[in-house]
Every structure is written in structure tokens, then in C-alpha cells.
Amino acid sequence: MVKTAVLPLVCALLASVAQAQTAPQPSAQRAAELVRMVRQDCGSCHGMRLTGGLGPALTREALVGKPPNYLSAVIFHGIAGTPMPPWSAMLQEGEALWIAEQLAQGFPEEPLTTAPQR
């Protein structure tokens, strides 16, 4: 009875498509890593305060009206023909969307107390 086995899977897939607008919350440790990466790596082009540099400002004010899906696509795929590189090697797609959502809300500061332990 393949049909009955497949049905729950199809439902799960449909549910995940319906929820695709909102990024899954990364673990606290991964969130700290992502914040650090954006502050440091993205900051090297977008400014240490994300107020712009080689790349445009990524502050909440600057991103008003830009949908998180657009921002996450830019983060994940880059913008061909510009210095904006793709981050698909460093990030899951959900993480790119999470970053996009954080940027749109005003990006968090790097938490000083949770430096990654290695």
C-alpha cells in the first residue's frame, strides 16, 4: 500500500511549503555564529555598522520595503556582475532567510558573552 505511506509525506511537504516564508530559528550557538559572520564578513563590504561601504547599507531603515525573500535570495546567490558574492557554501537557505529577517528588523549586535568555543 504505497499510497497510504506516501500521503503523510506529501502533507508534510505541503505544510513546509506553506511555511516557507518564515525562517526556522537556528540554535543559539548557530545564531551567534551567523551574527558574528554578518558583522565581520558582510561588514567588511557593507560597513562594520552595516551602514554601507562598498555595498549598500543593510540597516532596517535602508531595507524598508525589500521583502525577506528577495534579501535571502541575494544573500544565498549573490548578485552576478557585482562584488556581492553568493554565500551558498557557508549557509543553508533557511539561514540566509533568517539573516534576511534579522536585517529587516535591525540586525542584532554580536553577543559578547557567547564567543564560539573551539
- Among 46, 27, 111, which residue's Cα sits nearest to residue 84? 46
CB 19: neighbour CB atoms within 10 A?
A: 10
Q: Is residue 38 near ligand HEC by the rule CB under 6 A?
A: yes
The alpha-carbon radius of gyration of the chain (Å, integer) is 17
Among 52, 55, 86, 108, which residue interacts with ligand HEC (rule: CB under 6 A)? 55
| 23, 84, 97, 104: which one binds ligand HEC (CB under 6 A) | 84
- Chain positions contacting ligand HEC, by CB under 6 A: 38, 41-42, 44-46, 54-56, 58, 66, 71, 74-75, 79, 82-85, 87, 99
